[in-house]
Amino acid sequence: MGSEQDRTTHYQEGSLTLPGTVMLGTGVMIGAGIFALTGQMAQMTGVLFPLAFLAAAVIVAFSAYSYIKISNAWPSAGGIGMYLHKAYGNRLPTAFNALLMYFSMVIAQSFLARTFGSYTMQLFGGDESGRMVPILGVSLILGAFLINLLGNRMIQGVASFIGILKIGGILVFGLVGVWIADSISVDFSTPGEAGTAGNFLGATALGILAFKGFTTITNSGSEVKDPHRNVGRAIVISIAACVVIYTLVGFAVASNLSLAEIIETRDYSLAAAARPALGDYGVWFTVAIAMMATAGGILASIFAVSRMLAMLTEMKLVPHSHFGMPGTIQKHTLVYTVVLGLTLTAFFDLSRIAALGIVFYLVMDIAIHWGVLRYLRADVKASVWVPATAIILDMLALGGFVWVKLNTDPFVIGVAVATMAVIAIVEQLFLTRTARTRESGHEGTQVHHHH
């Protein structure tokens, strides 16, 4: 029974190589971004969407600076949770923002799962009933959950293998798409009624979702070989690779489909773009890549997210119940993560899932940069202007996005605000109670009761 009572988390230092780390990062980034966001961004900002990807890359480049600085100073498998803790201590901002990051990552999984469903159904002529996409998404998350129970080496192996196939496949798609298209002229003359600055900022915010996978790299901090050098490098390489790939694919889609077609097929626009260029084979090829990409993304993401929640639990920043489950805290956080992902996948559609994710993520991102500016600047040897610029750019993107959504889908902004309020209130109560327990010296009696 001894092993069953061991509830500590185990990290394997030096178990991730630089290429392995880059694969994990790009795995999460490319999984989410390109397959479902292309169409949604086009819907917001018209044919300027390849430029919105570039604008997102610029914002993320400024963002990455704070993460690289902190992870060079304190490489940690807890990633974001640890960074927030360094800046804000055992206080509400740490717990609140760490949970926002947690939820935005779970949301990203549901997003991937539904994208997987939308593309897979293209092999069967689409999903008329609307029932198959969530069913496929849910089964994918369950599959990824089982692989995650098998441990680190397995995850890195599967993620790297899928990553290489996927990146190769997407490059082929982009190059062939651009080569076959009549011309690479993207029709910039008709931005449609959506061509306002607010809409462009909104699309840029969505584009940030396509890059935010780089934070997965920071979460695997202490498990990377020579983390002080390699975490930063892995982030830079991943972002650069994604900029090239996204731009290429953006032009391939824009050259093969009209704006109206991109918007109409927004949940599977890459498969739709392959049809005029390459016929059915092109569609099958694209769907196969999309299935691998989303599956690989979910695998890497569940791995990183459950990690982070376990860390928060150990830092006594979030309430935790074992619900009578055996095994380590990390296994429990894995279960919670999966259950939450399944719920979102079953009940929310793609654009709403993406909207929740981007609001949570940007609020958390601003808190990280503020933490660096206000508390950690000397410790991590950061300059002032980079995090300050990152905050301004984040606020612009978030503002534009919220503005667009208030006009098109106010419900989702309502859900985001309500969720944040609930997180803040629950966390404040929990932290107050924990502090009181600590003060009254009853720490020793707070042992887990095993049945």
For 271-296, what is the HEC assignment?
Answer: HHHHHHHHHHHHHHHHHHHHHHHHHH
Closest CA to 156 of 57, 11, 27: 27
Is 318 a residue whose pLDDT tops 50?
A: yes
Percent of the chain, pLDDT > 70? 82
CA dist 417 → 48, 345, 351, 367, 431 (Å): 29, 20, 17, 16, 21
Task: Assess if residue 11 is contained within a domain.
Answer: no
Task: Give the percent of the chain with pLDDT over 90.
Answer: 15
What's the rounded mean pLDDT across residues 39-55?
83
- What is the reported pTM? 0.81
In tens, the pLDDT along 96-146 reads: 998 898 888 888 888 888 888 888 888 887 766 778 888 888 888 888 888
The answer to whether position 100 is within a domain reads yes
Cα distance between residue 277 and residue 274, in whole Å: 5
Residue among 199, 197, 160, 411 at smallest CA distance from 299: 160
Mean per-residue pLDDT, 341-369: 86
Asked if pLDDT for residue 424 goes beyond 90, the answer is yes
Q: Does 2 fall in a domain?
A: no
The answer to the question of residue 232 being in a domain is yes
Q: Residue 446 domain-assigned?
A: no
CA angle at 244 for the pair 242 and 245, rounded to the nearest 5°: 65
8 Å CB contact between 118 and 133:
yes
Arithmetic mean of pLDDT over the chain: 79
Residue 221 in contact with residue 77, Cβ under 8 Å?
A: yes
pLDDT one-digit tens code per residue, 13-30? 667 778 877 877 776 677
Domain-embedded: residue 282: yes
Domain of residue 419, residue span: 18-437
Give the pLDDT mean for 324-330.
65
Assess whether pLDDT exceeds 90 at residue 154. no
Distance from C-alpha of 143 to C-alpha of 296, rounded to nearest angstrom: 11
For residue 447, is pLDDT > 50?
Answer: no
CATH number of the domain where residue 348 is located: 1.20.1740.10
Q: What is the mean pLDDT of residues 276-287?
A: 79
pLDDT bracket for residue 271 (50, 70, 90): confident
Separation CA 17–CA 387 (nearest Å): 28
The total domain count for the chain is 1
Instruction: Specify the range with the lowest mean pLDDT, choosing from 36-50, 59-73, 86-100.
Output: 36-50
Calpha distance 294→268 (Å, rounded) = 12
Segment 406-434 mean pLDDT? 91
Q: How far apart are CA 185 and CA 178, in angstroms?
A: 10
| Greatest alpha-carbon span in the chain | 75
Q: How confident is the model at residue 192 (pLDDT cuts 50, 70, 90)?
A: very low
Say if 141 falls within a structural domain.
yes
For residues 134 and 207, what is the distance between their CA atoms, to the nearest angstrom? 23
* Residue 36: CA count within 13 A, CB half-sphere: 29
Range from 183-187, 191-195, 320-324 that averages highest in pLDDT: 320-324
For residue 115, which of 137, 86, 89 has the smallest C-alpha distance?
Answer: 137
324-350 average pLDDT score: 75
Q: Which residue has the tokens 């090829």?
A: 285
Query: How confident is the model at residue 156, as a pLDDT?
Result: 65
Q: Using alpha carbons, select from 103, 3, 47, 88 the residue that is nearest to residue 326.
A: 3
- Is residue 6 a part of any domain in this protein? no
